[in-house]
Structures are given as C-alpha cells and as structure tokens.
Structure 1
Amino acid sequence: MKKDSTRLVITFIMLIFLLIISFSASILYTVNNYLESKRSNVPVFVFFKDNVSKEQALSYANSLKTHAGVKSVKFIDKSEALSDILSKLNLPLQQFSENPLPYSLEIFLKPQFAAEPPNINSIEKTLKSNNLIDEVRIPKGLFANISQTTLTFKEFSYVLLGTFILLEIIILALLLKISYDLQRSNYNKLKLFGIKRLRIFLIFLKQTIVSWLFASLFSVILGSIIMFLYINYINLVPAYQNDILISFGVSSGLYIVFSLIILTILSLFVFFIEDEKI
C-alpha cells in the first residue's frame, strides 16, 4: 500500500489536542476551585445580646461547629474587639468606663453550602431564631456575586473546551478523509480479491488506532515531564498543587478514552461515506 503520511499528521494533531485540552481542563478546574473557595472567605457576623455571658456565647459557638454548612467559627471576645477598634482609631481605652460591645462570632460557611441562596436564608433563620442572638449580618450580595462569577466562568470553560473538541473533530475528519482517499485504490483492489468491506474497515480503523496509541503515549510522557518541571521549578500556586496534578491526570485519562471513541466514530463515518461498492 501507499505510504500514508497523513497518519503522522493525525498523530501530531491528536497529541497537540490531548495536551491542550488536558492542560486547559486542569487550569480551568483549579481556577473554578479557587472561585468556589472564595465563598468560605466571606464572614457571617453574629452579635449576641448584651446580657449574654461569655460562657453562653462560647457554648453556642461550639454548637454551631456541628452545623452541616459551617466550615469554622471564630469567637470574638468583646474586650479584644474594643481594644482592636480603639487601636485602629488611635483612641485611649481609659475613656470608656464600660465596654459597649457585645460578644460576637465570625462564621465561615462551606463553599458548596454557600453556593445555594436557600441555604444562606436557612442558616440566617436558624441564627436569628436563637434567643441569645441580637443581630445577624450576612453579605448576601457578596455571596451572590461570587456565585454569578463562578457560574459565568463555568459557562466560559464549557464553551472553550467544547470549541477545542469541535475543532479537533473537524480537523481529524478532514485528515481521515484524505487518508482514505490516498488508500482508496488499494482498498478497491482488496475488494476485487473478495475481501469484505468490514475487514477493510478494520484495516482502516487499525491504522487510525495506531496513531491514537502513539499520540496517547507521547501525551502522557510529555505531560508528565511538563508537570514535573512545573511542580519542581515553577509552582506558581503551591496551595493548589494537588488540584492541578489530580485534575491533569484525570482529564488526561478521560480525554484519551474519549478521543478513542471520537476517532472510532469518525473513522466509521468517513469510511462508509467515502467507500464505494465494487
């Protein structure tokens, strides 16, 4: 059979897209996790009534730690709060005969819990229903802005990855068509010898799968080298190192399998569109 150089091009194209999509998915996943985690940095402030003792406030703070949506609870002593405020305002503590501030809590919610507005309303209702609590301040607008930003980013991620995948499908379909055209006369000769179309298709598919195997192998090797260099010499965001490694490994594995499925379907489509009965 004629030497089919398009197989090398198919291997190269698959290698490039495997790396691009795997790295893109890893970066997008890590950024999404970062945006999700921002919800846990938004404090919910709870102020106790003036007549609530420190022991009562601490007891309630400890009970909140068992709440399914609460990530952490910080107890704010009213003496420390007053000293902190006066130091920032550069005012003497002696001018206050008594502390006008109540005990308070700074509550941080779990990212997934804080993603749903009904959950925010639910915990607000729970906090306000306690007779020890005087006031609850929840920055609902900030939670909503983070949720909207996260949603917009997810939509952008889906569009970007979808564009890459669509572009790869179009390029591979064209290359497979060219590859078949180059081998058309050879396939027709096989038919004259009584070789069935299914057998010829399997020959065509086998050549395509070889390209996939080489592309997958090279992508794993190159991806591993790049990840090794990044972790040991660049590592721009050490806090998300595990997220980057895990997401890259998972996205690479899934896309290698997905690319095989796509390549098989495209090969089937191109063959039965281009193939002629003799």
Structure 2
Amino acid sequence: MYWSLTKYSLIISFIFLTFSCSQPSEKNEQTYIVCTTGMIKDAAENIIGDKAKIEALMGPGVDPHLYKATQGDLKKLQAADIIIYNGLFLEGKMGEILEKLKNRKTVIAMAELLNKESFINNTEFQGAYDPHIWFDVNLWKKASTLLSEKLIQYDSSNQNYYQKNTDQYIHSLDSLNEAVSQKLQEIPDSKRVLVTAHDAFAYFGRAYNIEVRGLQGISTLSEFGLRDVSNLVEFITENEIPAIFTETSVSEKAIKAVLEGCKSKGHDVVIGGSLYSDAMGEEGTFEGTYLGMVHSNVEKIVEGLSRISKESK
C-alpha cells in the first residue's frame, strides 16, 4: 500500500514540479543549456524551470558509452551557454570534446562535483570510477544540490527561484529514496541478487544492500565471451536466482544467451523486465523522468526477484 501511495505522490510531485517550473519568464532571451543524458536534463529542468531552454543530446534507449556526437550535436554544444555532462568517462568518446569546450564556456561535470570518497572504483580501468551515480538516489540528491549551486553562481539574479525549485526537487528525492528502501525489503534475503546486461547497478547495490552482477563491465565497450556467459549461468543456477534483467539501452542478445544457458541446465529463470539503466523512458511519460525511471526499475526488480521458481514449489 505504501509503495502504491508513494507512486501516486511521486506522479503528483512530477506534475507539480512541471507546473511550478513553468511560470512566465521575465527574460526575453533564455539561457541555452545542453545536457548529455536525460537524467541530467531532468535534474536541470527541476532546478532551472523556465529560465532556460534545456535539451538532452541522448534520448530514450541511447547508450552513452557508445554515443558518437553528430554534426547537429556539435552545433548545439557550440551554441550552448552551459553544458552539463555526467563525467567519470560515462560519455566515452565525447569526453575530449567536452574538455576542450571548458576553455570557452561554462561546462559542468555533474558527477565530478561529488567527493571522490562517494565513488565506486572502476575495476576495469585503474584510477577510474564507476560513473553510474544516479542509481543511488541519495547520491543523486547530493549531486543535484551541488549542480544547483553551480547554476545559481551562473545566474544569481534568479537565486531565490532556483533555490525554491531545488528544495522541492530534493524533497521529492527524499520521498523516493525512502520508498525505494522500503519496497526493496520485500525481496527475500536469499534472492537479493540483481543480474543485468552490464555492470551499471553497483551504486544501487551499495545503497540498498543488493548484490549486483553484470555480463559486461561498467562500460558497454567492454567485451565478453563464452566463458563470461558460462560463469554467469553457473552462478545464477547455483544460487537459484528467479529472474534476470535486460536494459533499455543495451542489446538483449547477451542476456537472452544467459537465459537459454540457464534453461539448458534445468533452472527456471525468466527475464524480469527491461530496466532503465543509462537512459530514461520516453519524454512526456512518468518513466521519462528520474522519479519514474527509478520507480519503474524497483517495481520490476522486486516483482522479478520475489518470484517463486518452479523448483522451489
């Protein structure tokens, strides 16, 4: 019941935030902000409201690790007053372009505003960190607060407006974090293992006490082979994991190979749904917001991992 009420309240928050951030602007010329991912755009919109035109380069289903900037993207980046990206090498090949633009305009790496102590080490690349900070709602709240401070520095004339919007957004994130923590308690202790296409959910696992396994590494650029598939199949079968998950921004082919491998060993496992990992849902939908993205993921994870497999009956 609490989770259902929370979903309702989050949708109301989504509508309220959208309305409250859409009051008439006093400026004729708006600041132009370009974000890389939808998650960053969502945070910026909740803070900035109508005081800027905000666009995201990467839409639903787009993998930022593999993304290559188009000529149109480069024009948008050149025209932008502010560029906000995740950083920590999430954007892959775009990183060099974004670094060069720092000398010419305001460029903010949202994840890199956080203290390094907050990060999870990237085991694939020495000295690098896992960039998927948004899967820990509390960490995303901290990053959003720091982003707000940067945006207020850029446009201090609207400080009160931005601070009010930020306070509303932070309140909604606090409610979300509490709801997620409570909902995930429904998963049996022996089944608290999340298996996905790539290792994007480490922050989620750390924050909510869930073991995470990915076929690919932190970046979808990392290769995997038959041995990786075989090892994951063995792990899932031995631990009687009832569900594994695809991702909306990653090919389903690899996870389906794992599924077939498990079934060939007689283990009853299903695909518990497609999770929003590196991209949100369609714009204009609840899943096309950060709140909705997280809520949708948690619903699928709890339902899938709480499933009673045939061999347990």
| TM-score, L = length of structure 2 | 0.26
Instruction: Answer with 1 or 2: which has the greater Rg.
Output: 1
Q: Which has the higher helix share?
A: 1
| TM-score, length of structure 1 as denominator length | 0.28
Higher relative CO (CA 8 A, sep ≥ 6), structure 1 or 2?
1
More strand by percentage:
2
